[in-house]
Amino acid sequence: MNTAIDLLQKKTAHQFPPKPDSLSELNIPEAMVEDLVLRRVYTSGTSSLKALSQALKIPYFLVQEIFNRLRKEQFFEVKGMDGQDYNFTLSGKGQEFARKSYDICRYNGPAPVALDDYRKAVMAQTGQVSVNRSSLKDLLSELVLTDKLLDQLGPALISKNSIFIYGSTGNGKTSIVRRLTRIYEDVIAVPYAVEFDNQIIVVYDPVYHERVETGINDLDDRWVICRRPCVIVGGELTSHMLELKMDKSTGVYAAPLQMKANNGMFVIDDFGRQILTPEYLLNRWIVPLDRRVDYLSLSYGAKFEIPFETTVVFSTNLDPSDLADEAFLRRIQNKILVEPVTPEDFDRIFHRILENKNLPHEPSSAEMLRKLCTFFTGKELRACYPNDIVTIIESISHYEGTPAEINKNNLKRAATIYFTQGIKDVKKPIHMSQTPHSDKAMPKERPITVA
């Protein structure tokens, strides 16, 4: 993975928003800045100019300008000096004004940036992807992927259009999509918050935004330098997560997930298994996917436009034709099938896991595991089986206080725990010459040479 210094070298400092030289260059109402100062002092009790500058992410001299203005209006009482800095608190008049402001909005964190500035920054930071089969294989080196799959993923990522990844469960779709942001080799600026119509929308979210310390002094501190985000949601996704949400107790809006994912990726895992219907989600995003803009509404109906500069990745084990109509699928140009693993790739996955865990094993363990998987399921091999079975063997060994070893008996024992059986078959002894659902002998497999 790239270090913070490597990432910064990919993007020069002048491409980030510069420090404002005046209150007008904050591009937000000065009354909002004054309210932020009053609310901050109101909640902290006492403060200093340096503390306000650090909390609100506004340059010291601009905080001093606001302080001098409000001091002349008798909003503050100076308690002392700390070098050249003031220690102060609110006067009675200041308390009254701050309380009124606090009752309307309790936000007292970093000052927001203007919506127009946010739009410009997002458009200027559109990701550029440059990969080939070799570099993509290196980025996804923990996974065993075919060249065919890599050759589909690469062009899809370069296109920056939405991607629809589908295939049977357990073959690595989630593992793939969680690693796709590795293709980005730069960093972006994310605002703590955005202002529109005197309302504050919190954007920066440490859950999705990985901060990178820059050491650059001329950046506007209202922006956070981060790696490109990857927002991943599954069955918990609801319609409310895709709209502005106001916290009535604070009067502050939380940005929807797609806004937090701007300049990065938005992965919808297990698509089709959400509480909201696929039709709702597809209708909600049919315009953003087509025009790369989204429209959000404040609680009182005011609407505004934001960029939709995120690569949306749909991942599902359901049939695409059951989830979306032709008009929507046409808007998703990249549709990639993750096929079941071949016996050869299954063995590669198995041996890689044993090597990483440094586990002793019998030479025929891979072939034995394949037979067990086919015996219990009667279906294709899946990429998840080796790791899941090995994990169960490790747990059994820990339980019994014995060294973990991959052998025929342990594989059978773990497979019996892992795979489900029909109720009628539970009382029957397990013989590898039969399937649990049939008296017919298993077909013999052709010998497979494990490298």
Question: Which CATH architecture fits 120-337?
Answer: 3-Layer(aba) Sandwich (3.40)
pLDDT in tens, 350-370: 999 999 999 999 999 999 999
The pTM of the full predicted model, rounded to 2 decimals, is 0.84
Give the integer Cα–Cα distance in Å for 108 and 275: 35
pLDDT in tens, 187-240: 999 999 999 999 999 999 999 999 998 777 789 999 999 999 999 998 889 999
Find the radius of gyration of the CA atoms of the chain. 28
Give the integer Cα–Cα distance in Å for 367 and 364: 6
Joined together, the tokens standing for residue 92 give 């009675």
Which helix (DSSP H) or strand (DSSP E) does residue 166 occupy? strand 163-166
Q: Taking the C-alpha atoms of 279, 284, 288 and 290 in order, what is their torsion angle to the nearest 10 degrees?
A: 30
pLDDT in tens, 253-273: 999 999 999 999 999 998 888
Quote the pLDDT of residue 3: 52
Q: Phi/psi at 311 (nearest 5 deg)?
A: -85, 115
Q: Span 29-109: which CATH code?
A: 1.10.10.10
- Annotated domain spans of the chain: 29-109, 120-337, 343-441
pLDDT in tens, 35-76: 999 999 999 999 999 999 999 999 999 999 999 999 999 999
The class level of CATH for 343-441 reads mainly alpha
Residue with structure tokens 């073959």?
171
Give the integer Cα–Cα distance in Å for 417 and 389: 9
Is the Cβ–Cβ distance between 398 and 441 less than 8 Å? no
Quote the pLDDT of residue 449: 34
Quote the pLDDT of residue 435: 42
Residue with structure tokens 């960029």?
307
